[in-house]
Structure 1
Amino acid sequence: MSWAVVYSRALAGMAAPLVEVEAHLANGLPAFSIVGLPDTEVKESRDRVRAAIIQSGFDFPAKKITVNLAPADLPKESGRFDLPIAIGILAASGQIDSTCLPEYELAGELGLSGQIRPIRGAIAMAEAARQQQRAFILPQDNAFQTALLPQTHVYGASTLAAVAAHLNQQQLLTTVDAQHLQQYTTEAAYPDMADVRGQQTAKLALEIAATGGHSLLLSGPPGTGKSMLAQRLPGILPPLTATELVSVWSLQSLLPHAQQQYQQIRPFRSPHHSTSAAALVGGGSDPRPGEISLAHHGILFLDELPEFDRKVLEVLREPLESGEIHISRAARQATYPAKFQLVAAMNPCPCGYNGHPIKPCRCTPEAISRYRDKISGPLLDRIDLIIDVPSLPASDLIQQADGENSSSIRERVSLARERQYQRQGKINAQLSNRELDTIAHISTAAKHTLASAMEKLSLSARSFHRVLRIARTLADMADNHDVETSHILRAISFRRAL
C-alpha cells in the first residue's frame, strides 16, 4: 500500500478541529514534502520524522513522499503532527498494519531518537476524539491530563517504536486512568486566614466575596495586609468541581509545556503592573489565553491597581460582564472562558498615607485626584465590594494571631453557596437582572430603601443591581429566605465611593 490516512487534531482556541494526515509514496527521485498550510514548525518535522523512523529501527522509504494535512485552509502549527506523519509514512510503506488506523487519533512531537515529547492542548483534542468515538494516542507526559475526562480512551506512549508495536498488536499500550493523576499533579496549599491579625471588616468582605463570587477592591496605606488578605481568598473558596477542574486544566494545557501547572486547587494569578493588555486578555498571531483566562474559576489579583496602564485596565470591562473573551486576528479567532474573581489592591494616594493616623500625607489634592482617576468610573462601577484596610495599632500586631482558620470559613462559604445553587443553579454574582426580580426574593421594602439610596448617593443602574446581588449574598450567609432592608443597607456600606 502506497497511501495511508492518519487522524490528528489542530488547535483553534479551545476547539480541536480534525486533521487528516495523508501520506503518499510514489516512484521517482527521493523527496519529502508537506502541504496543507503548514507553518515553520510543521515543515521542520521532515528532519525529525526521518531521524525518528531510522532510530526506531524502521526503514525510511527512498521514494517521493508527499504528506497532505487536510483541510488545506486550516492553519497547522506546532510539532504535534510529527507522530501522525511518521505513522502515516510507516503505514504507507507497509511497515505497520494500517487496518486499525481509523480507530485512532494521534498527536505528539518526535525527538531525533524516536522519543515522543509533550504537546499543547491534549485535553481539548482528547475530548474531541471522544465525541468521534476514537481512541487517542498521546505522549506519556500529556496522557495523564485526560484522566479527568469521562469515558475517554487514551493511551500514553513514550516512543515511536511503542506506538508502532501497539498498532501491529505486538505489545499493547496501557490506557490512562485516575491513578496517573497523583504522579503528575503538584501539591499546593494557600496561606491560612488565621495568620491575619485584626482587620475584621476586611475578613468579612473576603467571606462575602467568596460566598457570592463578587469582585473586591482593597484600599489602604502600605503594609496594612492588603496583599496578605487577597492571597488567602482562594483558601476559603469551595474546592473545584470535576467540571471546573477539567476547564481549568484545559486552559493550562494550551500553554507551553514548561509553563503548565496541574494543581487541584483554584488558580491564583497575580500579574505585575507592567503587564500588557495582550498578556492580560490573551492574544498573539496564534491566540493564546491570557491572565484572565488562566484565572478561570479562580482569582485574578491586581496589586497596585493605579500603577497599571489605564488602557490595560479597560480591557477588563467586557470579560467582567460576560465571563469570556473573544480574540480576533486577521487569520485566526479564538474564544476563551474568563469567569474569574477580580481582587485588586491600591493605596489611597501616591505616597500611600492619606488618612493615616500617624504618618502625614505629602500629596496635593491634585496629585491625589490624578492618582485615583487612573481607575475609570466604568471599571470602578463593575467592582462589587470597595473597602478600607486601615493600619493596625502596635498593640494588635504584638498579640498572637487567634483568628478563625480558613477551613472553618470555607465550610460556611460552601453552605451558603449550596443554598444559591439549590435556588437558582448559580452563584449570586452571575444572576441576571431578570433573575434578581424573579427568583432572588427581594422584599418590597428593601427595594424602596435601595431606590432612596440611589438618589442620595447618585448610584448607577449597574450599581443598583450589584447592591442587590451583594444583599442576596448577605441574606444567604444569614440563611434568610428574603432580602430585607438590613441586608440592603449593609451592602451599600460595602460599596463606598473612593
Structure 2
Amino acid sequence: MMYSCNSMGFFGMDSFMVEVEADVSDGVPAFDIVGLPDTAVKESRNRVRAAAENCGFEFPTTRITVNLAPADIRKEGPLYDLPILVALLKVTGAIKAPIDDCAFVGELSLRGEVRRVNGVLPMVMKAKEKGIKRVFVPVGNAMEGSVVEGISVYPVKDFYSLFRHLIGKEEIVPVKYKRKREFIGINLPDFSHVMGQFEAKRALEIAAAGGHNVLMIGPPGSGKSMLAKRIPSILPDMTFDEMIEVTKIHSIAGTMPENVPLITTRPFRSPHHTVSAVGLSGGGSIPHPGEISLAHNGVLFLDEFPEFSRSALEVLRQPIEDGYVSISRVMGTVKYPCSIMVVAAMNPCPCGYYGHPTKRCTCSEKAIQRYAAKVSGPIMDRFDIHIEVPPVDYDDLTSSVLCESSAEIRMRVNDARKIQNERFKNTKVTCNAKMDAESFRKFCIIDEKGNDLLRKAFETMGLSARAYDRIVKVARTIADLDNSECIKAKHIAEAVQYRNLDRKYRFSIVD
C-alpha cells in the first residue's frame, strides 16, 4: 500500500516541491529512504520510528520504502521527518483526513516534538505558488512563514497535536501576521554618543544616503569601530520587498531569531579578520550564504581591513560590483544577492601612528609599504568615500554639549533616499551607488563650474575611470542631501576630497 504527502526543499534562494511517497509492503522488515537523500535525511528513519512509538503509535514492522521525489534533486537536512511520519500514518490508516492541499515541514525529536528547520519562508512562498492551501511548520518557524499572504501557516508544537488536528479532535490555529510600519531601531547605538569626529559623521551620512562604500583610516582609539557600529541607526527605512528578501536569506542560513516574523532593520555583519574566503562568499557542498549575502541590503563591516587574507578580500571584488555572488558546484550554480554597503576600517601603518599629530610612528618605510600592499589597488578603488578619522582632542571628549542624534541624521538620509526612489522608480537601481551607465548619464548632470573642477581633479590626481564614476555618484548624493537637482561645483569639491587620502597614506587606489 502506498500513499504520499507534500513537503518542500530549497537549493540556494529557490525552493521546490517534494512529494514524500511512503510504501508499506510484505517482506523482510526494513526502512529505506531513497530520492537522493543526504546523511541527515537518511537518519530520519531512526528519528521517525522513535517519535512514532513515543507518541503511542504502532510503527509498521514490515518493509517500508520512502521516496522523495523528484529523485534527481539532492534533499538536505532533517526537515522531512514530519512529512515522512504523516505519509506512513496515512498509509496505515491512522490518518484518514484529506491532506492533498497541505504541505508538511519539520524535524522530529525522539519524543515527537517538532523542531525548527531552515528555509521556511522561501518554502512557504513556493507552496503558495504551487496552489498549496495549508502549510504545517514548527512553532519556531511559524512567524516567518506567516508573512506570506494567501496561505494558512499552522504552528506545530509536537506530532501528537498535529495528529489530533488532522483527525478533528484538536484545532491548531494558523498564525496571522500583522504588518508593522515603524522603524525598529530603539536599541541601536546612537551617534549622539560619539564626541567630535564631525567630518567623519558627515561622510557617513552621505554614505548612508547613497549606499556608498566607505574606508576609514586612522590611529588606534580614534573611534573608527564606534562610528561603524552606529551606521545602522542612520540607514534609510527598508521597503517590504527588501525585508522579505533579507528574511529569506537569513531563513535559509538558519540565522533567524525565534518568533521573529520579518527582519525589519538593515543587517550589520562584522566578521573577524580570520574569516575565510568561503566564509565571506558562501559555499559548501550545497552552497549556503556567506557574510556578504547575510549583509544584503545592509552593512558589511571589515575591521582591521589589511589583516584579512588576500584571498578573502579578492572575493569581494566582483560581488561589490555585481550585487550578487555566484557559487558553482557539481549540482548546479547558486546565486545569492549581496547588495551591500561595505565599510572598512584600518590603521595607516603596522604601529598605527603614521601621520599622527603627536605620537611618533616607529615603522620603517618598507614596513609601511608592505602593510599598504596587503590590500590590492582594485579593492581600494571600490571604496567611494575615504575618511580620515583623527584622534579626538580633549575638549571634544569632555564637552557637555550633546551631539546630533541618529534620529536627526536619519531624517535627512530618508529624505535623500526618497528622492532616489522616485528617480529610479520602475528600474532595478535602488540607490545612487548602484546606478548603471544609463542612469548615470541621465541623472548625473553637472553644471559648468562643477565640470571644470572635476576635469582639473581628474588630471592632477591621476584618477581612474572607476574613481571618476564614484566621485560623480557621491556628488549626486551630496546634491540630493542639498535638495539640488543639478550637481554643482560645491558638491563636486566635497566628493573629490573623499578620494584624497591615498596621497597622505601612500595607498595606490587606481587600477
Taking structure 1 as the reference length, the TM-score comes to: 0.95
The offset of 1:159, in angstroms, is 1.3
TM-aligned CA deviation for residue 179 of structure 1: 5.6
Deviations 1:160-193 (A, max 9, x none): 1222222223323211112699xxxx98721110
- Tell me whether 392-401 or 256-265 shows the greater mean CA deviation: 256-265
- Equivalent residues of 2:250, 2:256 under 8 A apart: no
**The 10-residue stretch of structure 1 (231-240 or 247-256) with the greater mean CA deviation from structure 2:** 247-256
What residue is the counterpart of 2:466 in the other structure? 462
Rounded to whole Å, the distance in 1 between the matches of 2:202 and 2:461 is 23
1:98-131 deviations in whole A, cap 9, x for unaligned? 5x22201111001111111110101111110111
Asked if 1:423 corresponds to 2:423, the answer is yes
- More displaced 10-residue stretch of structure 1: 362-371 or 436-445: 436-445
Please tell me whether residue 37 in structure 1 is matched to residue 41 in structure 2: no
Counterpart CA distance in 2 for 1:171 and 1:224 is 61
Q: How does 1:392-411 map to 2 (within 5 A)?
A: 392-411=392-411
Identity over aligned residues, as a percent?
43
Displacement of 1:490 = 1.4
- Aligned counterparts, 1:10-409, within 5 A: 10-97=9-96, 100-134=98-132, 135-178=134-177, 189-256=187-254, 262=260, 263-409=263-409
One-letter amino acid of the counterpart of residue 412, structure 2: R
In 2: Cα distance, 1:376 partner to 1:393 partner:
33
In the alignment, the residues of structure 2 paired with residue 327 and residue 348 of structure 1 have an alpha-carbon distance, to the nearest angstrom, of 34
Q: Give aligned pairs, total.
A: 492
Give how far 1:393 is off.
1.9
Kept after mapping to 1: 8 A contact 2:140/2:258 = no
Instruction: Give the letter aligned to residue 251 of structure 1.
Output: I
Quote the offset at 1:48 in angstroms. 0.9
Query: CA contact under 8 A between 2:185 and 2:233: conserved in structure 1?
Result: no
Tell me, in whole angstroms, the C-alpha distance in 1 between the residues paired with 2:356 and 2:258.
42
Q: Which residue of 2 aligns with 1:433?
A: 437
Deviation at 1:244, TM superposition (A): 1.6
Which sits farther off after the overlay, 413-422 or 153-162? 153-162
Q: Deviations over 1:59-102 (max 9, x none)?
A: 2122211101111111111110001100110111111025x222
Shift of 1:274: 0.8
Amino acid corresponding to residue 461 of structure 2 in structure 1: L
Structure 2 CA distance for aligned equivalents of residues 322 and 255 of structure 1: 21
Give the letter aligned to residue 117 of structure 2: I
The answer to whether the 8 Å contact 2:213/2:343 transfers is yes
Instruction: Work out whether residues 325 and 338 of structure 1, in 8 Å CA contact, stay in contact via their aligned partners in 2.
Output: yes
Q: Is the 8 A contact 2:141 2:258 kept in 1?
A: no
Amino acid at match of 1:149: V
The answer to whether the 8 Å contact 1:433/1:465 transfers is: no
CA distance in 1, matches of 2:453, 2:378: 24
1:490 to 491, 494, 502: 494
Q: CA deviation at 1:378?
A: 0.5
Question: Residues 219 and 347 of structure 2 are in contact (CA less than 8 Å); yes or no, is this contact kept in structure 1?
Answer: yes
* 2:144–2:259 contact (8 Å) kept in structure 1: no
Say whether the 8 Å CA contact 1:244–1:297 is kept in structure 2. yes
Query: Which range is displaced more, 136-145 or 420-429?
Result: 420-429
For the 8 Å contact 1:424–1:439, the answer to whether it is kept is: no
User: 2: distance between equivalents of 1:257 and 1:371?
Assistant: 35
Give the match's secondary structure for 1:483: coil
For the residue of structure 2 that corresponds to 1:11, the secondary structure is: strand
> For residues 258 and 218 of structure 2, what CA distance do their matches in structure 1 show?
34
Offset at 1:446? 3.0
Contact 1:273 1:303 in 2 (8 A): yes
SS, match of residue 60 in structure 1: coil
For residue 349 of structure 1, give the secondary structure of its aligned residue in structure 2. Answer: coil
Measured in 2, the distance between the counterparts of 1:45 and 1:103 equals 24
Quick check: 1:268–1:295 contact (8 Å CA) kept in 2? yes
TM-score w.r.t. structure 2 length?
Answer: 0.92
Cα distance in 2, alignment partners of residues 180 and 221 from structure 1: 44
Contact 1:83/1:107 (<8 A) preserved: yes
| Distance (whole Å) between structure 1 residues aligned to residue 462 and residue 147 of structure 2 | 49
Tell me the SS of whatever aligns to 2:253: coil
Pair 35,187 (structure 1): closer, same or farther in 2 beyond 3 Å: farther
Give, in angstroms, the shift of residue 443 of structure 1: 3.2
SS at 1:221's partner residue? coil
Q: Does the 8 A contact of 2:146 with 2:152 survive in 1?
A: no
Question: SS state of the match for residue 205, structure 2?
Answer: helix
| CA distance, structure 2, for counterparts of residue 372 and residue 464 of structure 1 | 22
Root mean square deviation, CA, Å = 1.9
Name 1:479's counterpart in structure 2: 483
Structure 1 contact 147–180 (Cα < 8 Å) conserved: no
| SS in structure 2 of the partner of residue 408 of structure 1 | helix
- For residues 410 and 213 of structure 2, the distance between their equivalents in structure 1, rounded to whole angstroms, comes to 18
C-alpha separation in 1, matches of 2:277 and 2:95: 49
